[in-house]
């Protein structure tokens, strides 16, 4: 292991190299290493045409030059293979503008593919992605038009007459990772990291491909001082270490200030967590919370679904649930916003790849996820919206392997609503309908769910639907809502109207807590 300055990092990357980058949205990004690449490229126009590989691409949903936005300059990236492309808006825009071909793989697939690369295996065979845009019969993981001109990265195959997808391995030349500490020999500790993502698998895949591993840490510790259980990456996998202090001015992004309650080193009294106000988001979360059961393991997605944890806390039964995040935290209360991926007071934290072994095998009892578009077949799109290509993250792994799925979101995009007198009132309708004839991209397949006998609900603030073999069935409407005017007129297809159509529980629309029991 050699200690180098961040300015030297870019010189170690050659044109056309494949570069793996750690990080998960707002956590674990090697910021100083990415800045080195950006600055060197801006000055010297090299390294160019690199292939970048990352999971939930680092970024804070802005155009600031942090995370993957630092690699958005035209010519620097020649291809992207990511699970989520949109956390950095500049990088996501470059994908949408076809500046380079981009492939969006399910997050669990990407993690398991890194393991296959480390083991010199040809790839992975899995059911994950069938009947979604990852399926080569549909889009083959292509996130933009340029990707469709590239060599396919996924193939359809059959084993004992069952369909599977084969995702192909590729060598990795450089890994850019972030840890907490290194010792003098190069062992890397992750003791302050709330997310153990792809770091180990990227290091092992790169090392076994004959590449170099570069790790950013905030301090060098004496040899023998690190706890073995905190050392995720051994010295024999590490070539270079860069010392870089985290930037506290970035707020929650990249967790620059250590939060011990996210690693299990300290317990935070949850009474300090703010209870959310009543709005359409909380209405959806309350209705979803009515589906919860004691002693179950539940995945909560980013955005509106993480409000369900807040509702469970307010109602007093959070401790009766085990909440799971795809990045590997199990138990506790997921944190929302940019730092999503970690949990307050987790019971355990495992690497993302191992977590997806559990997920793929049906470990979860329920998942509560967001929705952006739903069509008459029950398909859901959360990954592609015109020029904005985000990718699926862990969405496909979760939804294809879990017994019960709840999708939640507002009924239209951008509506103005008010909750008064225990009922919902629409002040101004949103400009874009979400229930469409055909979704732009199939991130969740209704057909596949029916084949697997999964229970599927779609919860909005004004209506609840369930998936049936005959299509989407409307089963509940909110008090104060007109069926024709507020629901059916804003759908591009007519759902099945339940013969037992009910009004949503009025407690959902009250300011005081529901006194909900599970």
Say if CB 184 and CB 222 are below 8 A apart: yes
Q: Would you give the distance in Å from CA 263 to the centre of its chain? A: 19
pLDDT higher for 454 or 338? Answer: 454
Domains recognised in the chain with CATH numbers: 2-245 (3.40.1080.10), 270-509 (3.40.1080.10)
For residue 8, pLDDT beyond 80:
yes
Rounded CA-CA distance 276/279 in Å is 9
Residues 6 or more apart in contact with residue 84 via CB below 8 angstroms: 25, 55, 56, 57, 104, 107, 390, 391, 392, 393
Say if CB 273 and CB 36 are below 8 A apart: no
- How would you label 42-75 residue by residue, b for 16+ Cβ within 10 Å and e otherwise? eeeebbbebbbbbbbbbbbbeeeebbbbbbbbee
Per-residue confidence at 164, pLDDT binned at 50, 70, 90? very high
Say if CB 204 and CB 237 are below 8 A apart: yes
pLDDT mean over 72-84: 97
Residue 219 annotated in active site: no
For residue 187, pLDDT beyond 90:
yes
For residue 272, pLDDT beyond 80:
no
For residue 336, pLDDT beyond 90:
no
In this structure, the strands spanning 50-56 and 18-21 are parallel
Q: What is the pLDDT of residue 193?
A: 95
Structure tokens belonging to residue 370: 């967001």
Q: Could you identify the residue written with the tokens 């698998």?
A: 201
- pLDDT tens-digit profile of 133-145? 999 999 999 999 9
- pLDDT tens-digit profile of 403-442? 999 999 999 999 999 999 899 999 999 899 999 999 999 9
Mean pLDDT of the chain: 96
For residue 63, pLDDT beyond 90:
yes
Q: How far is CA 27 from CA 55, 213, 445, in A?
A: 11, 19, 30
As a whole-number percent, the residues of the chain with pLDDT over 90 amount to: 93
Set 314, 326, 373, 476: catalytic member: 326
Q: What is the pLDDT of residue 461?
A: 97
Structure tokens belonging to residue 373: 């578009």
- pLDDT tens-digit profile of 236-256? 999 999 999 989 998 899 999
Q: What is the pLDDT of residue 390?
A: 93
For residue 271, pLDDT beyond 80:
no
Q: Give the residue among 334, 367, 340 at the shortest CA–CA distance from 454.
A: 367
Per-residue confidence at 337, pLDDT binned at 50, 70, 90? confident
Structure tokens belonging to residue 462: 């004004």
Q: How far is CA 84 from CA 87, 207, 233, 413, 470, in A?
A: 7, 24, 24, 22, 32
As a whole-number percent, the residues of the chain with pLDDT over 70 amount to: 100
Angle between helices 307-315 and 280-289 (to 10 degrees): 70
Structure tokens belonging to residue 424: 């919902």
For residue 473, pLDDT beyond 90:
yes
pLDDT mean over 72-80: 97
For residue 338, pLDDT beyond 90:
no
Q: How far is CA 300 from CA 347, 366, 369, 427, in A?
A: 16, 9, 6, 30
Q: What is the pLDDT of residue 274?
A: 85
Per-residue confidence at 306, pLDDT binned at 50, 70, 90? confident
Q: What is the pLDDT of residue 273?
A: 78
pLDDT mean over 31-47: 98
Q: How far is CA 362 from CA 127, 157, 392, 403, in A?
A: 12, 22, 19, 7
pLDDT mean over 118-145: 98
Q: How close are the terminal C-alpha atoms of the chain, in Å?
A: 54
């Amino acid at each position: 292991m050699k200690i180098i300055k961040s300015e030297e990092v870019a010189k170690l990357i050659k044109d056309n190299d494949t570069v793996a980058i750690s990080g998960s949205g707002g956590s674990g990004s090697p910021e100083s290493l990415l800045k080195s690449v950006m600055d060197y490229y801006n000055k010297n126009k090299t390294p160019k045409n690199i292939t970048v590989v990352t999971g939930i691409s680092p970024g804070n949903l802005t155009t600031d030059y942090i995370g993957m936005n630092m690699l958005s300059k035209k010519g620097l990236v020649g291809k992207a293979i990511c699970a989520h492309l949109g956390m950095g808006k500049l990088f996501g825009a470059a994908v949408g503008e076809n500046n380079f071909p981009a492939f969006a793989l399910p997050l669990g697939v990407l993690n398991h593919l890194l393991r296959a690369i480390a083991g010199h295996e040809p790839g992975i065979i899995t059911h994950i992605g069938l009947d979604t845009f990852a399926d080569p019969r549909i889009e083959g993981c292509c996130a933009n038009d340029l990707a469709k001109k590239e060599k396919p990265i996924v193939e359809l195959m059959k084993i004992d007459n069952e369909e599977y997808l084969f995702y192909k391995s590729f060598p990795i030349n450089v890994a850019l990772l972030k840890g907490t500490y290194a010792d003098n020999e190069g062992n890397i500790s992750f003791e302050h990291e709330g997310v153990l993502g792809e770091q180990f698998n990227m290091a092992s895949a790169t090392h076994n491909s004959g590449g170099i591993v570069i790790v950013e840490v905030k301090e060098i510790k004496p040899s023998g001082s690190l706890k073995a259980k905190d050392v995720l990456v051994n010295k024999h996998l590490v070539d270079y270490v860069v010392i870089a202090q985290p930037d506290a001015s970035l707020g929650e992004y990249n967790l620059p200030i250590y939060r011990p309650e996210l690693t299990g080193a300290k317990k935070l009294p949850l009474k300090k967590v703010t209870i959310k106000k009543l709005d359409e988001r909380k209405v959806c979360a309350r209705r979803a919370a009515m589906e919860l059961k004691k002693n179950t393991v539940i995945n909560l997605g980013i955005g509106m679904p993480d409000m369900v944890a807040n509702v469970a806390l307010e109602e007093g039964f959070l401790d009766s649930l085990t909440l799971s995040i795809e990045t590997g935290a199990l138990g506790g209360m997921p944190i929302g916003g940019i730092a999503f991926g970690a949990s307050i007071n987790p019971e355990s934290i495992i690497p993302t790849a191992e977590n997806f072994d559990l997920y793929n095998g049906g470990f979860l009892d329920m998942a509560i996820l967001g929705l952006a578009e739903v069509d008459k077949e029950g398909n859901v799109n959360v990954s592609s919206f015109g020029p904005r290509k985000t990718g699926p993250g862990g969405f496909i792994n979760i939804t294809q392997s879990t017994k019960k799925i709840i999708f939640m979101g507002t009924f239209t995009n951008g509506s103005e609503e008010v909750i008064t007198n225990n009922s919902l009132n629409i002040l101004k309708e949103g400009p874009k309908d979400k229930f469409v004839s055909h979704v732009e991209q199939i991130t969740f397949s209704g057909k596949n769910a029916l084949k697997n006998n999964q229970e599927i609900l779609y919860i909005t603030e004004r209506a609840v639907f369930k998936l049936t073999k005959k299509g989407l069935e409307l089963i509940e409407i909110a008090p104060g809502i007109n069926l024709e005017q507020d629901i059916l007129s804003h759908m591009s297809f007519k759902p099945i109207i339940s013969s037992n159509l009910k009004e949503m529980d009025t407690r959902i629309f009250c300011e005081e807590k529901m006194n909900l029991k599970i």
